[in-house]
Amino acid sequence: MDFIDALRQFAAQAENRLSQIQTEEATKTSLIMPFFKTVFGYDVFNPDEFVPEFTADVGIKKGEKVDYAIIFSGEPTILVEAKWCGAPLEKHDSQLFRYFGTTKAKFAILTNGIVYKFYTDADEPNKMDLTPFLELDLLKIKDAIIPELKRFCKSNFNAEEISSRASELKYSNEIKAYFSEQLKEPSDEFVKFMMSSAYEGKKNAAVVEKFRPIVKTSLNSLISEMMSDRITTALKNDSKATEESTNESSAAPVEEPQQSQSAPTDDEFLAFKIVKAVLAEQMSVDEITHKKTTNYFAILYNDAPSRWVCRLRIGGNKDYIGLPDDEGKEARSPIASINDIYSFKDAIIAAAKRFV
């Protein structure tokens, strides 16, 4: 079982266990230790590798203990502070912050068994950052963080590589969070900054208020246009490839006709283009192919029927998109139009990444 399958399978199990877990200790034994064993591959019963109740004395306070320490080359490298699965984590990072400064650890994880917050010392050596560089919610797994999580597997672990990547992720996350907020409700400072390239008059409160909706609309419109351009480019590239293939076929010797699949409809071909556009930043779109069967239109990885990304039925009474569930079986969802495919973006990416 590969990493993403193990992660998603464990997430489903964790969700089912939640209602039965009422204490911090039960959270540790039912969620946290199994997570590090099943997903990250650590031997949680080997005290040379996974140490419970690791001593992290703070100043004059002796006997302070962090819930777990993961050991590499005899040194604590990852500290793990555990809380009950029903407890929010916002008020507990200060405790982990104190522990971090007393050890040689390079990373710290604060978790309640469902949410995992990953910290390092990107801002100041040996001092844990106040902001995590990575966050996992098992109930809402984001495809973009999966490669970063995989770095914490025992078999992949490289402290220097993770540290280098962590700094980039931390600042990138903060920039994206800031920009996301500005898309929803631009601040005065942001509006003034954007105005500076288009307006030379005084930027008093009334003028800023006038420009606020203009800035918001302009930015959101720009993002929509960029997405549209990506789809148009994918369509053009594929049309060119199809034309070249047709020319080559017409120049080839005529052979006896063979039984072949019917050609996709215009709507099916457009759906194929949308899926390719969704996957364009994740992998080479040359690896994404299609095949039409009697019952559905399949989008495949490397033209292998067993490696299907999604299946579509378009143009009938009950249109749907089929995507693989945690067991690899097809789970169908109704769609009202081809544009509805965009709402399944994360699931499409996750399906394709099973084969990368």
pLDDT along the chain (356 residues), means of 10: 86 91 94 96 95 74 81 93 90 79 89 95 88 92 87 92 87 85 89 86 88 85 71 62 56 42 80 87 84 90 90 87 89 87 89 86
CB atoms under 10 Å from CB of 55, counted, come to 15
The predicted-structure confidence for 226-278, as pLDDT tens digits, reads as follows 766 666 665 666 556 556 555 555 554 444 433 345 678 888 888 898 898 88
The first and second tokens of residue 204, run together, are 């008093």
Total number of residues shown for the chain: 356
Question: What is the second-level CATH architecture of the domain 3-174?
Answer: Alpha-Beta Complex (3.90)
Report the predicted TM-score, pTM, of the whole model to 2 decimal places. Answer: 0.59
- Alpha helices by DSSP H, listed for 252-265, are none
Beta strand extents in the chain (DSSP E only): 50-55, 65-72, 75-82, 107-111, 115-119, 134-137, 288-292, 297-301, 304-313, 320-324, 330-334
Beta strand extents in 180-296 (DSSP E only): 288-292
- The angle, 0 to 180 degrees and rounded to 10, between the axes of the packed helices 205-251 and 188-195 is 70
In angstroms, the first-to-last Cα distance of the chain is: 14
* DSSP annotation string for 219-238: HHHHHHHHHHHHHHHHHHHH
